[in-house]
Structure 1
Amino acid sequence: MKAETSRYALIAITLHWVMAALLLFMIWLGWNMDDHEARYQLHKSVGILLLFLTVVRVIWRAMNPPPPLPEEMPAHEKLASHLVHMAFYGLMILLPLAGWLLVSTSKFKVPTVLFGTISWPHLPAPDFLRGDLAHAILENIHSKGAWVLIILLGLHVAGAVKHEIGGEEGVLKKMLPGLFGKVAPPKTARGYLRAFGTAIIAFALIALIPIAGSGPSDAAPAESAPVAEGEADNLSPNWTVNYEQSEIRFTGEYDGAGFTGTFGDWTADIEFHPDDLAGSEALVTVRTATADAGKKLYNDSLKGQEWFDTNTFPEARIRLDNFRETDTGYTADATISLKTELVTVPLDFTLDIDGDIATLNATTVMNRKAFDLGQASDPAGTWVGEDVTVTVTGTASRN
Structure 2
Amino acid sequence: MHAPSSNRYTVVAILLHWAIAGLILFMIWLGWNMDDNEARFQLHKSIGIAILFLSVARVLWRWRNPPPPLPDDMTPWEKRLSHGVHVAFYALMIGLPLLGWLLVSTSSFQISTVLFGTVSWPHLPFTEGLKGGVVHDVTEFLHSKGAWVLIVLLGLHVAGAIKHEFAAEEGVFKRMIPGLFGRPHSPPPAQGYAIAFGGAVLLFAIIAAVPLMKSSPSAPASPGTTGTVPADEGNWAIDPAASEITFTGTYQKKPFSGTFGRWDASVLFDAEDLDSSAIEVEVYPGSASTGTKLYDDTIQGGEWFDTNSFPAVKVSLINIAASADGGYTAEASMLVKDQAINVPFDFNLTIEGDTATFDGRTTLSRKALNLGQQSDPGGDWVDDSVEVTVKGSATRKE
Counterpart CA distance in 2 for 1:42 and 1:186 is: 34
- Residue in structure 1 matched with residue 322 of structure 2 by the alignment: 325
Q: Is the 8 A contact 1:104 1:125 kept in 2?
A: no
Q: CA deviation at 1:343?
A: 1.1
- Residue in structure 2 matched with residue 381 of structure 1 by the alignment: 379
One-letter code aligned to 1:240: A
- Residue in structure 1 matched with residue 396 of structure 2 by the alignment: 398
Q: CA deviation at 1:337?
A: 1.1
Counterpart CA distance in 1 for 2:387 and 2:182 is: 68
Q: CA deviation at 1:91?
A: 0.6
Structure 2 matches for 1:170-181, cutoff 5 A?
170-177=171-178, 180-181=181-182
- Residue in structure 2 matched with residue 345 of structure 1 by the alignment: 343
Quote the RMSD (CA, aligned, Å): 1.9
User: Judging changes above 3 Å, is the alpha-carbon distance between structure 1 residues 256 and 288 closer, same or farther for their aligned structure 2 residues?
Assistant: same
Counterpart CA distance in 1 for 2:255 and 2:39 is: 16
Counterpart CA distance in 2 for 1:11 and 1:271 is: 68
Q: Is the 8 A contact 1:120 1:210 kept in 2?
A: yes
Q: Which runs of 5+ in 2 are unaligned?
A: 1-5, 220-225
Q: Is the 8 A contact 2:73 2:170 kept in 1?
A: yes
Q: Is the 8 A contact 2:229 2:267 kept in 1?
A: no
Describe the SS at the equivalent of 1:334. strand
Tell me which moved more, 270-279 or 244-253. Answer: 270-279
- Residue in structure 2 matched with residue 14 of structure 1 by the alignment: 15
Runs of 4 or more, structure 1, over 6 Å off, are none
Describe the SS at the equivalent of 1:360. strand
Match of 2:305 among 298, 305, 308: 308
Match of 2:286 among 281, 285, 289: 289
User: Judging changes above 3 Å, is the alpha-carbon distance between structure 1 residues 266 and 126 closer, same or farther for their aligned structure 2 residues?
Assistant: closer
Q: CA deviation at 1:318?
A: 0.8
- Residue in structure 2 matched with residue 62 of structure 1 by the alignment: 63
Describe the SS at the equivalent of 1:186. coil
Counterpart CA distance in 2 for 1:283 and 1:192 is: 58
Counterpart CA distance in 2 for 1:187 and 1:10 is: 9
- Residue in structure 2 matched with residue 189 of structure 1 by the alignment: 190
**1:246 aligned to 2:249?**
no
- Residue in structure 2 matched with residue 221 of structure 1 by the alignment: none
Instruction: Give me the TM-score of the superposition, normalised by structure 1.
Output: 0.92
Q: CA deviation at 1:268?
A: 1.0
Instruction: Give me the TM-score of the superposition, normalised by structure 2.
Output: 0.93
Counterpart CA distance in 1 for 2:249 and 2:128 is: 34
- Residue in structure 1 matched with residue 352 of structure 2 by the alignment: 354
Q: Say how many residue pairs are matched.
A: 385
Structure 2 matches for 1:1-399, cutoff 5 A?
6-125=7-126, 129-177=130-178, 180-214=181-215, 216=217, 231-232=227-228, 236-328=233-325, 329-399=327-397
One-letter code aligned to 2:18: W
Q: Is the 8 A contact 1:128 1:134 kept in 2?
A: no
Q: Percent same amino acid among aligned pairs? A: 55
Counterpart CA distance in 2 for 1:277 and 1:356 is: 18
One-letter code aligned to 2:278: E
Counterpart CA distance in 2 for 1:303 and 1:96 is: 25
One-letter code aligned to 1:258: P
One-letter code aligned to 1:232: T
Q: Is the 8 A contact 2:216 2:311 kept in 1?
A: no
Q: CA deviation at 1:341?
A: 1.3
User: Judging changes above 3 Å, is the alpha-carbon distance between structure 1 residues 181 and 271 closer, same or farther for their aligned structure 2 residues?
Assistant: closer
Q: Is the 8 A contact 1:177 1:183 kept in 2?
A: no
Describe the SS at the equivalent of 2:334. strand
Q: Is the 8 A contact 2:108 2:132 kept in 1?
A: no
